[in-house]
Amino acid sequence: MASRLVIATNNAGKLREIRALLQPLEILSPADLDLNLEVEETGDTFIENARLKATAFAQASGLVALADDSGLEVDALEGAPGVLSARYGTPDLNDQGRCQLLLHNLKEHTDLVKRTARFRCAMVATAADGRSCHSEGACDGLIASAPAGDGGFGYDPVFYLPQFQQTMAQVDAKVKNKISHRSQALNRIIPLLLQTFAELRS
């Protein structure tokens, strides 16, 4: 029981990826603990937002909490949507709507090689007593001219990976879990988790 880690997200896609990469730790979702927290993401950076979420869930659960904040940076849009990736556009937009808005905002940039972008992820793990560690990861690519693929979530259908000639939504899940910004951040934070939180080693 001591090796339980609560993931500070209600995003099913994120939970699925994190569970796959953090075995054999017992990964708990907020629903598993009957936690219903909505943490306002007021930070100016991914790591600030991740820290806000991890701290809130650690204090509410009494367990070590792991939070990530991630998003898409598009160079032609001066880094947008960035930390606002999940809130890009109007509040009624879903993932598909945000992808369409992004493509609309890039309509003047028709040359694919100039549509450079990257996914960024910051992860923070925090205990209720204030112990903490963090990591970051990034994955470079291009913004496709149209969505493709039905895997993944978020902006995956429009994030084109030249080395695979596929979008992030088209590549196999095992491939994604090796190259994604989230998997990089997770792989970097695993040894830090075990160093920082003795309770996760038992």
Domain 4-201 matching CATH 1.10.760.10: the answer reads no
Neighbours of 155 (CB within 10 A): 26
- Is 69 catalytic? The answer is yes
Query: Which residue in the list 32, 34, 68, 69 is annotated as catalytic?
Result: 69
What is the C-alpha separation between 139 and 119, in angstroms, rounded?
Answer: 5
Placement of tokens 């209600």 in the chain:
10
Instruction: State residue 96 phi and psi, 5-degree precision.
Output: -65, -40
Strand partners, 127: none
Q: State pLDDT tens for residues 26-36.
A: 899 999 999 98
Hey, what are 186's tokens?
Answer: 């997770």
Residue 1, pLDDT score: 38
Q: Which of 132, 135, 100, 105 is nearest to 120 (CA)?
A: 135
pTM score, whole prediction = 0.88
- Beta-strand pair 64-74/4-7: parallel
* Low-confidence spans in the chain with pLDDT less than 50: 1
Cα dihedral 21→198→66→151 (10° resolution): 0
Q: State pLDDT tens for residues 121-150.
A: 999 999 999 999 999 999 999 999 999 999
Placement of tokens 């925090």 in the chain:
126
Cα dihedral 90→92→97→98 (10° resolution): 40
* Alpha-carbon distances of 129 from 31, 36, 175, rounded to whole Å: 23, 21, 37
Residue 202, pLDDT score: 66
